[in-house]
Amino acid sequence: MQLLPTHYFSKQDLEPNENSSPAIAQILDKELLESLQRIGEDIRDKRSCEFQKSLLITKPEISLFIGILRLVGAINITEYEDKMTIVPSGHLASDLPFILFLYLKHGYTIFDDWNRRTKTLPDRLTALEFLHFIEKRRIESSKKAGLWPDTIRTIPVSYAIIKAKSVSLNSDVYLFELNKDWGLFNLIGGKQEPVDNEDYRLTLLRELEEEIGVSRDRVIATQLLEKPLDGYSLSGSRGTLIHYPCMLYSIKISGLFTKREKDRWLKKEEILIMSKLAEPKLMVNKVYLSYLFHDLHGGLDALPLSIESPIDKGPWYHEIRNFILSHHNWLVPMLKIIAALLAIVAGIFAFIKFLK
């Protein structure tokens, strides 16, 4: 079975169920929950949490919480005199303490039926499979309890719609990049970084420079949305439920453009087919695709070309036709002048012949 790098949700997918039922009664006091929340937030945001050893004696529940994290190999512990420091054991482990805090806060359970004998999970889980499993379970539990699932992080993203003309395909095509880790196609763009100053356009321009080597002075970016689209997914890099506000841009690239070997031009029909396959070939949130195909005024067909020249060459007569079409503003008047000159020359020769 193929392990998907991410799971996509729309805002409607995360709405609480209409026939919701509250979770089990809370068994942890407010002060203890606040301590667990601080541990989860420190490990998530600072990748480190330090506290006095005496806390484990006065709050044995915290000792048990840390013991469970250690049991699954999610943390490393360092002791020094009367202090203890906890750090995540890996990239995927940094969000786990906060996720478990949310389970305890809301009284969710990971398993409902301990009598089931048929195998429902693989014998061995990767860290990503484990996080995806408990996160999907948390989403289901939140919705059943009439609550919105908490997102662990918010990461703004920007993507470019790069459109060109293919002569051989006689069609418009759109540029996608192949993700090296998952073997799936994604739009050109990426996540916002601190250097972008929370500016979606700066994110896009930086990503275009880094991804396809097009400097920002060669790009004209036109924002397609008044406000970002709300996309959600179980991240393929972190494994947790993340909110991805997304801004889409139509772009115009000046000068010569050559795609990378890993990039691929796709027709609109190919994009639609790939998005509906049982085993997806695209790493694009369904919310973004829905906007491009259904909500964007005029759809993809209405977007201007990002690159002036066709990406390929067709038969010789196509080349002549394209040359005439692209230069007709000056070519037609020039041909009329040449035709007039030829008519004059022909008239002169006819007159000379008449005189003889």
61 located within any domain: yes
CA separation for the pair 229, 147 (Å, rounded)? 22
Are 132 and 178 part of one and the same domain? no
Are 232 and 168 part of one and the same domain? yes
| DSSP H stretches of helix in the chain | 30-45, 54-58, 60-71, 96-106, 127-144, 200-212, 268-275, 286-290, 316-326, 328-355
CA separation for the pair 226, 295 (Å, rounded)? 13
With beta carbons less than 8 A apart as the criterion, state whether 201 and 210 touch.
Answer: no
- For the beta carbon of residue 335, count every other beta carbon within 10 angstroms: 12
Least confident of 18-22, 78-82, 132-136, 319-323: 319-323
With beta carbons less than 8 A apart as the criterion, state whether 236 and 125 touch.
Answer: no
Helix (H) or strand (E) holding 229: strand 229-234
Tell me whether strands 241-253 and 153-154 are parallel, antiparallel or unpaired.
parallel
91 located within any domain: yes
How many CA atoms does the CB half-sphere of 156 hold within 13 Å?
Answer: 18
C-alpha triplet 188, 192, 196: angle, nearest 5°? 110
pLDDT at 310 > cutoff 60:
yes
* Per-residue model confidence (pLDDT) at position 323: 62
End-to-end CA distance of the chain: 92
* Per-residue model confidence (pLDDT) at position 55: 84
* Per-residue model confidence (pLDDT) at position 163: 96
110 located within any domain: yes
Tokens 């051989």 — which residue? Answer: 168
Most confident of 14-28, 70-84, 187-201: 187-201
* Per-residue model confidence (pLDDT) at position 316: 56
Which among 101, 127, 144 is the end of a domain? Answer: 144
pLDDT in tens, 225-261: 999 999 999 988 888 999 999 999 999 999 888 888 8
pLDDT in tens, 256-288: 888 888 999 999 999 999 988 888 889 999 999
Are 93 and 167 part of one and the same domain? no
Query: At residue 190, what are phi and psi to the nearest 5 degrees?
Result: 170, -160
6 located within any domain: no
Are 254 and 174 part of one and the same domain? yes
* Per-residue model confidence (pLDDT) at position 278: 81
Reading the block at residue 90, the tokens are 């890996």
pLDDT in tens, 176-197: 999 887 889 999 999 999 999 9
Are 94 and 71 part of one and the same domain? yes
CA separation for the pair 127, 277 (Å, rounded)? 26
User: What secondary structure does DSSP assign to 62-128, as a single string?
Assistant: HHHHHHHHHHTT-EEEEEETTEEEEEESSGGGGGHHHHHHHHHHHT--S-S-S---S--S-SS--HH
Are 137 and 173 part of one and the same domain? no
4 located within any domain: no
* Per-residue model confidence (pLDDT) at position 135: 93
Give percent helix, percent strand, percent coil of the chain, each to the nearest 5.
Answer: 40, 20, 35
Q: Which are the contacts of 51, defined by CB distance < 8 A and separation ≥ 6?
A: 39, 83, 84
Average pLDDT over residues 160-166: 95
Q: Give the residue from 164, 157, 163 showing the smallest Cα distance to 199.
A: 157
* Per-residue model confidence (pLDDT) at position 58: 84
Q: With both helix axes pointing from N to C terminus, report the angle between 316-326 and 328-355 in degrees, rounded to the nearest 10.
A: 100
62 located within any domain: yes
* Per-residue model confidence (pLDDT) at position 258: 87
pLDDT at 101 > cutoff 90:
yes
Are 138 and 178 part of one and the same domain? no
- In terms of residue numbers, what domain contains 342? 316-355
Instruction: Report the predicted TM-score, pTM, of the whole model to 2 decimal places.
Output: 0.75
pLDDT more than 70, % of the chain: 89
User: For the chain, what is the domain count?
Assistant: 3
8 located within any domain: no
Are 158 and 238 part of one and the same domain? yes
Reading the block at residue 336, the tokens are 């009329």
CA separation for the pair 172, 269 (Å, rounded)? 10
Are 192 and 139 part of one and the same domain? no
Are 259 and 337 part of one and the same domain? no
Q: With both helix axes pointing from N to C terminus, report the angle between 96-106 and 60-71 in degrees, rounded to the nearest 10.
A: 130
Reading the block at residue 196, the tokens are 């972008």
Confidence band for 1, pLDDT divided at 50, 70 and 90:
very low
Are 233 and 171 part of one and the same domain? yes
pLDDT at 326 > cutoff 80:
no
